Structure 1
Amino acid sequence: MNTHFSLSQLFSPRSIAVVGASATPGKIGAMPISLLRRYEYDGRIIPVNPRVADVQGLPAIAGLDALDEAVDLVILAVPAAHAAAALERACPGQIGAAVVFTSGFSEIGPEGQALQAQLCAVAKARGIRLLGPNCLGFMNIRSRVYATFTPAASGEAIKAGGIGMVTQSGAFGAYAFCMARDRGLGLSHWISTGNEADIDVADCIAYLAHDEDTRVVMAYMEGCRDGDKLRLALAAARDAGKPVVVTKIGRTQAGAQAAASHTAALAGDDAVYDALFRQYGAVRARSIEEFFNLGYAFDTWKQPPQGRRLGILTISGGVGALMADEASDAGLTLPSPTAAVQQRLLERMPFGSPRNPIDVTGQAVSEPGLLLSAAEDVLADGIYDAMAVFLAAAGSSEALWPTFETFARTMQARHPKVPLAISALFPPARRRELEALGCLVFADPSAAVKTLAAVVRPSENASAGPAIPATPSQPLRASYNEVQAMEALALAGIAVSPCVVVQDAEGAVAAAGSYSGPVVLKIVSPDILHKSDIGGVRLNVIGDAEVSAAYDAIVDAVSRQRPDAAQDGVLVSPMAPRGVECIIGVHRDPIFGPIVMFGLGGIFVEVLKDVSFRLAPFGRAEALAMIAETKGYAILSGARGSAPADIDALADALVALSIFASQHRGELESVEVNPLVVLARGKGVIALDAVITTATAG
């Protein structure tokens, strides 16, 4: 089903019936009619109330069975116990969509869940899409559709604009609406999804991705029930070139529990959501201020920064240093202007600093044109992706306004691909004029830098997309020992260490003799995951006598410590060459399916938690990104003069694992390859141990 067209009757209705319509101010059945009339909605409004002949001057009908024609949208403002019956009175095919304001459904427990199921059954039988229940409804600002009862809409009118806002929480949504209005942001849509009995946040993101009036999507999420749908929605927005800013609560265990109790939504594993947003180019906001700063930036700038090179112009050296610190913390780089540019800057401002941050001092305030000429000089060489300017309290000076206006207008005209953020105390009217020119304006210089850094990320990931998995070579076994797991991964395209499984000491000696150099011996058992903990591993074994003794020691240790474990033999394999030990793995998330993990291997991986995740499947660019975002990347890149590791081969292994996981998503529970040794650049990788657990195992 095409989400955009299936929801067009809901979000752009030409006729609206209000069940539970009222003329009494303050009642939820009164508010939508009042708002629709106040904002001059030009479609048909049909009050539904069996006790009165008209509502707010409009003729009323007793029930939906009295409709004389099809209606695009029905608003249900009746108690939960009566909602299904009210909707059931409509003829099949007569209503396109319904918004259900009322609470008392799944969010209150089993009784409410039964009422919600009944409501959904009636809607499905009649082909009606449902928004809610337990929601504040929605607004289509440009079409003047106010299908809501939030008091926030009854205040000062919000301007129409390019931001589509969708939220699972009605209370947050009302707050966000007021914040957007106070900050001068223009909205295309405002949508509250409530219990999401049918239409959820993903549906709304997908709709907004195709909506020609929407440039930016701002979403507030508490959980997700359909991971594939959310992935497709974010991909649609990415492919349409529309940034998505997300505030996802439930980042901590306490937060996740609060979210679940609030809306009966699954908060899920927060690391998975982080991976999802990174992978599909959505930007996650960690605070309300950041949420609005990011939405503001994407809506104001015609094009976000295309790289991480920032130029800073400041009239205060101290604040310039503060901004430089913020830039470094946020992962931005501060390249210095060329020597020739620095020389020209010093000739015009001998008391300034020509490096980056570039301190133009108070001279830029007293000498009109200096700020612009300095910026032009700095940008002439094309080494900056964005510019941040600090003007302190000078922005409040009306006498200096012509200087700043000329600066902003000229910069936007001559350097449209270099986003400009100005930090100063401008009066609201002047701030809006600069924003109309395409400049961001912040009172806080730190917020300016952090926002610049955050909005780079979508353009870095804009072309990222999942790989298409090939047909699986064979179905999974019910259970795997280590050797079988290594064979399966080898078929999937991951290089594994050669090995032989033997059943006695003589076989171990013969196997070791086929390799040059020392060998490793390990117990092979599907029941033993941590072999070294029980003496099931011997390393660097050399010579027939040592090999024979090592075999006997392993069998004896396992028989004593794990007499219940099945023993499939002892593995003999050559000791691997030296390299960087990493761990790659898969676990099945109940919402999003197989999730691939990467980190440095060893005993501290669970303690340090220096790992990254992606949803399977994905391509090479995404694999390289997940490697680079770990602290261990410095070691792989060649820290302290050591040779760089084969990062390309590591990325290929991650891609292969992601495809393997995606191919077997219905039957695979987990995979762990630890260690995966990453050899020197050009030498590849080798998996030394692997565990595969299927969903049917045990």
Structure 2
Amino acid sequence: MWQAGSGQAKRLKALFAPRRIVLAGLSTRPDSWGRLALNQLRGAGFPGEIVALRPRQLDPTVPSISQLDDVGATDLLVVALPAEPAVEVVAEAASAGMGAAVVFASGFAEAGPEGTERQSRLVRAAGSMPVLGPNCLGLVAAPSRMALSTSVFLDRPRPPGPVALVSQSGALGFVLADRLRRLGIGFSYFVSTGNEACLDATEVAEALLEQDEVALLGLYLEGIRDIEGFRRTTEAARLAGIPVVALSVGRSPAAARATLSHTAAAATEPELWTALCRRLEVVTVSDEEAFADAVAGLLRPRRLPAHPGLGVLTMSGGAGALIADRLGPLASIPALTPHTRERLRDTGVPLAGDTNPVDLTGMFFHHLDRIPELAEAMAADPGVDALTLYVTFGDRFPEAYHRLLERLATLPVPAWMIWAAAPEGTRERLPPGAPVVDSIPALARVLAAQPREPWPPASAALNDARRHATASSRGHSTLPSGPVLTELDLAPVLASFGLPFVPQLTSDSAEGVVAAVERAGWRGPLVLKVDHPEAPHRTRRGLIALGVDLSNTEQTAVILAARAQRQGLSGFRLVAEPQVPARSLLGLGALRHERFGPVLLLGRGGQHFEEPEASRTAACLPLDPTDLAALVDAAERLGCDVELRTLAGVLVAVEQLLLAHEDLAELDCNPIVLDDQGRLLAVDALGVRHASTQAPQSPNLPRPTIRA
């Protein structure tokens, strides 16, 4: 029974539990949408009244909605008409006070300007009445015995289940439903939202979260217009203990907009979407296979440590090596203690290897009844936080494999069986959420989806970095005026928050900067730059020189100054810095995104930072320990073996500067070098106080002199 306690659930009761369905567009053609929808309704055993509106040679019929008896908020209009008549009948239903409508028709916003105008008229016609679609494949509400769709998927036998599936694509949504069906997992609710003219996926999902039959929410999303609505819905799911799995598309590598800063150019939707979902504890996947595996793994979620140790028990040495390679980024494969290895030997099972992975050899089937003892011994090892058992086929002894599955579920640590090449139909016969997958990549996807415990070192590092930033930045956090902030503007402020810059010497003339280098006794190699707010990207304009030695410092400074003058950069400053030997380069930036709010972006430094195919990791601000753990992993993947507290200090410096200055829209620190002493040092920075895509004409302001 539909729980319509409050909010969206109350508003959408007519959509999921109608008293009466009025079908507009029913014809005698057996392949018409109206006829197919009627057949599915009858096949599902819908218990309410079904009335046809203005059909030919069909009964019961009414000529108009106004002539229905007792029209009310629990009546649902189903529109199987072309686009223009659909708008008219929706207006009629809204005027009569019906509770909701479903519009199958296409020819709206997806069809160009004319369709967009038609969709606007549909929205006006609907008023406050919820409308699903247009251009959708309807919905299924198993508790109400209502199948309101034309999809052939509904002709297939399918189990009931605890999943609510909301999809912006009807066809892809039913493909996901079929993937789940093949794993023996059914859904209680399925909704295709189509163009979302009046009712979007987050509103539908919010209503479904209140239903007793829903234990997991699955989403297929091509775009979210209401980020705050998505936050609200997923937060409600988290509080209710309902996992959320989201398959999203639109992962174009092209930058979302042309901007002054590298960060804003690099901050594409995929990175920001992943960051938002990580903060909201939403599991994101990239294809339908990963979606099904994640759903299966989360029906019985097994919380893991932040960096779990995995015990591997396998009947194939090759499979053990593959597991170690494939799962290495998600979990360590720790060596077992001598005590555990002694317990393994005491079972009497001959083993080809007992260190981890533990190799049962190809004769494992002679000892199936002893495998649980091996698993229990490994689960008791202090380094093992989770366990996997790899087996194949099982055609001759499926009952024994089923007993192994039952025993795995009783272990004190999370455990999964990889049942490769299982007999046909095995997964469908297992209960939903059974701890079994059919391949090593599938287990990787399941492990990636499991909730993780907080990482205590990350919490401590964040707290320490913020205390340091708060204490050291007092009295040093004022930024100069102007829409563009250069390296000389930002260096002392970022340093006060905890991101040190390489030493800098500056002057307004070539002679002055050379004299400063000589007084400082620098030996080179040096980096010489022109600093000016109207030259945010200096490399493109030939205003940076690398690897300058003492013999040509003056000549290089003169050349740079001349270039700056030819480019009309009045009031420029020349900057000299030692060229720091770097073990690795990072690019770090932050911005206030119009949809995602304040975010931070970390990637490979230098010119790589904004390349479309570059690997980048985003995080919502302010950072939390989960974000820091993800950024640490990202730095490691980029070859930057920096200490946790050092990286945390740098990340917090950028975070705190952005949050302390609400008018600061974008901030680049690129590159940041990891030097031979393990320090992270910034060698360039850029700030933007607005989101303009054009370089502003800023006034010629005096630049501060920064001494080494």
TM-score normalised to the size of structure 2? 0.79
Quick one: structure 1 residues 626 and 655, their matched pair in 2 at CA, closer, same or farther if it must change by over 3 Å?
farther
Counterpart for residue 435 of structure 1: 431
2:138 paired residue number: 137
Tell me by how many angstroms 1:116 deviates. 0.7
The residue aligned with 2:699 is none
Equivalent of 1:69, from 49, 71, 75?
71
Q: Which residue of 2 aligns with 1:27?
A: 32
Q: Partner amino acid for 1:585?
A: G
Residues 281 and 461 of structure 1 are in contact (CA less than 8 Å); yes or no, is this contact kept in structure 2?
no
In structure 2, relative to structure 1, the CA distance for the partners of 1:356 and 1:653 (3 Å cut) is: same
Map 1:81-160; keep pairs closer than 5 Å. 81-90=84-93, 92=95, 94-124=97-127, 127-153=128-154, 155-160=155-160
* Secondary structure in structure 1 of the residue aligned to 2:440: helix
2:246 corresponds to which residue? 246
Q: Is the 8 A contact 1:524 1:571 kept in 2?
A: yes
Is 1:411 aligned to 2:440, yes or no? Answer: no
SS in 2 for 1:439: coil
CA deviations over 1:250-284 (Å, ceiling 9, x no partner): 34569x9xxxxxxxxxx974344344444433333
Following TM superposition, by how much is the alpha carbon of 1:497 offset from its aligned partner in structure 2, in angstroms?
A: 6.7
The change in CA–CA distance for 1:209 and 1:676 in structure 2 (over 3 A counts) is farther
Q: Select which of 686, 691, 694 maps to 1:695.
A: 691
Instruction: Give 1:320-359 correspondences, 5 Å limit.
Output: 320-328=320-328, 330-347=329-346, 348-359=348-359
1:514 shift after superposition: 9.2
How far does residue 70 in structure 1 lie from its aligned partner after superposition? Answer: 0.8
Instruction: Measure the CA separation in 1 of the matches of 2:80 and 2:659.
Output: 48
Instruction: Write the distance in 1 (CA, Å) between the matches of 2:684 and 2:163.
Output: 51
The residue type paired with residue 32 of structure 2 is K
Q: Alpha-carbon deviation of 1:296?
A: 2.0
- CA shift for structure 1 position 104: 1.1
Q: Is the 8 A contact 1:508 1:572 kept in 2?
A: yes
Three-state SS of the structure 2 residue aligned to 1:246 is strand
The answer to whether the 8 A contact 1:311-1:384 is kept is yes
Structure 1 pair 459–16 and aligned structure 2 pair: CA distance change class (3 A): farther
Q: Tell me the distance in 1 between the aligned counterparts of 2:447 and 2:673.
A: 34
User: Which among 528, 538, 544 is matched to residue 535 of structure 2?
Assistant: 528
- Secondary structure of 1:135 counterpart: coil
Assess, with a 3 A threshold, how the Cα gap between structure 1 residues 660 and 573 changes in structure 2: closer, same or farther: farther
Q: Does structure 1 retain, via aligned residues, the 8 Å contact 2:491–2:685?
A: yes
Shift of 1:510: 8.5
**Structure 1 residues 68-77 or 115-124, which shifts more?**
68-77
Q: Is the 8 A contact 1:646 1:681 kept in 2?
A: no
Match of 1:197, SS?
Answer: coil
Distance 2:295 2:140 in 1: 18
Residue identity in the other structure for 2:407: T
1:172 corresponds to which residue? 172
Q: Is the 8 A contact 2:675 2:681 kept in 1?
A: yes
What stretches of structure 2 of length at least 5 have no aligned partner? Answer: 1-5, 257-266, 471-476, 697-708
Q: How many residues align?
A: 658
Deviation at 1:91, TM superposition (A): 5.2
Give the 3 Å change call, closer, same or farther, for CA 135–660 of structure 1 in structure 2. farther
Structure 2 residue matching 1:224: 3-state secondary structure: coil
C-alpha distance after superposition, 1:158-209 (max 9, x if no partner): 2221112122222222333333334321102111111121222333344444
Which moves more between the two structures, 139-148 or 177-186? 177-186
CA distance in 1 between partners of 2:496 and 2:138 (Å): 52
Letter matched to residue 286 of structure 2: R
Question: Cα offset for 1:136?
Answer: 0.5
Q: Deviations over 1:420-476 (max 9, x none)?
A: 22415555676556536x53334x4324432343223666799x99999x9x98998
Alpha-carbon spacing, 1:252–1:612, altered in 2? closer, same or farther (3 Å): closer
Alignment check: 8 A CA contact 2:102 2:138 kept: yes
Mapped to 2, the partners of 1:21 and 1:62 lie a distance apart of 14
2:260 alignment counterpart: none
1:583 lines up with 2:579 in the alignment = no
Q: Tell me, in whole angstroms, the C-alpha distance in 1 between the residues paired with 2:575 and 2:420.
A: 69
Q: Distance in 2 between matches of 1:157 and 1:439?
A: 20
Counterpart of 2:380, as a letter, is: A
* Counterparts of 1:273 and 1:485, CA distance in 2: 29
Q: 1:461 & 1:64 partners in 2: Cα distance?
A: 62
Q: Match of 1:97, as an amino acid? A: A
Q: 1:558 is aligned with what amino acid?
A: A
Identity %: 26
Give me the whole-angstrom Cα distance separating, in 2, the residues matched to 1:671 and 1:507: 29
2:618 to 614, 618, 623: 614
The alpha carbon displacement at 1:677 in A equals 4.6
- Alpha-carbon spacing, 1:49–1:332, altered in 2? closer, same or farther (3 Å): same
**Partner residue of 2:632?**
628
CA contact (8 A) 1:492 1:656 kept: yes
Moved more, 481-490 or 302-311: 481-490
Alignment CA distance shift 1:113-1:488 (3 Å) = farther
Superposed, 1:4-403 pairs within 5 Å as 4-22=9-27, 24-42=29-47, 44-51=48-55, 55=59, 58=60, 60=62, 62-64=64-66, 66-72=68-74, 73-90=76-93, 92=95, 94-124=97-127, 127-153=128-154, 155-252=155-252, 269-299=269-299, 301-303=300-302, 305-306=304-305, 308-328=308-328, 330-347=329-346, 348-367=348-367, 369-393=369-393, 395-398=394-397, 401=399, 403=400
* CA offsets 1:640-671 (integer angstroms, 9 cap, x no match): xxx8881121221343256368x44xx83x43
SS of the counterpart of 2:164?
A: strand
Is 1:567 equivalent to 2:573 in the alignment?
Answer: no
SS at match of 1:674: strand
2:641 match: secondary structure:
helix
Q: Distance in 2 between matches of 1:372 and 1:349?
A: 11
Q: CA RMSD in A?
A: 4.3
Rounded Cα–Cα distance in structure 2 between residues aligned with 1:70 and 1:324: 61
Q: 1:681 to 1:138 in 2, by over 3 A?
A: farther
Counterpart AA for 1:152: F
Distance of aligned partners of 1:653 and 1:14 in 2 relative to their CA distance in 1, 3 Å threshold: farther
Of 368-377 and 278-287, deviating more is 278-287
* Partner SS for 2:377: helix
Distance 1:132 1:148, change over 3 A: same
Distance 1:414 1:113, change over 3 A: same
Q: CA deviation at 1:102?
A: 0.7
Quick one: structure 1 residues 40 and 268, their matched pair in 2 at CA, closer, same or farther if it must change by over 3 Å?
farther
The alpha carbon displacement at 1:20 in A equals 2.5
Matched, 1:449 2:443: yes
How far has the Cα of 1:28 moved from its partner? 1.7
Q: What's the secondary structure of 1:585's corresponding residue?
A: strand
1:556 aligns with 2:551: no
Residue correspondence of structure 1 range 472-511 to structure 2 within 5 A: 477-486=482-491, 502-504=507-509
Structure with higher RCO (Cα < 8 A, 6+ apart)? 2
**Which amino acid counterpart does residue 455 of structure 1 have in structure 2?**
A
Residues 484 and 687, structure 2, Cα contact 8 Å, conserved in 1:
no
Alpha-carbon contact 1:18-1:76 (below 8 Å) kept: yes
Q: Is the 8 A contact 1:583 1:600 kept in 2?
A: yes
In structure 1, give the amino acid aligned to 2:302.
Q
Give the structure 1 partner of residue 669 of structure 2. Answer: 673
Task: Determine the C-alpha separation between the residues in 1 that align with 2:606 and 2:316.
Answer: 48
State how far apart, in whole Å, the 2-side matches of 1:554 and 1:458 are. 52
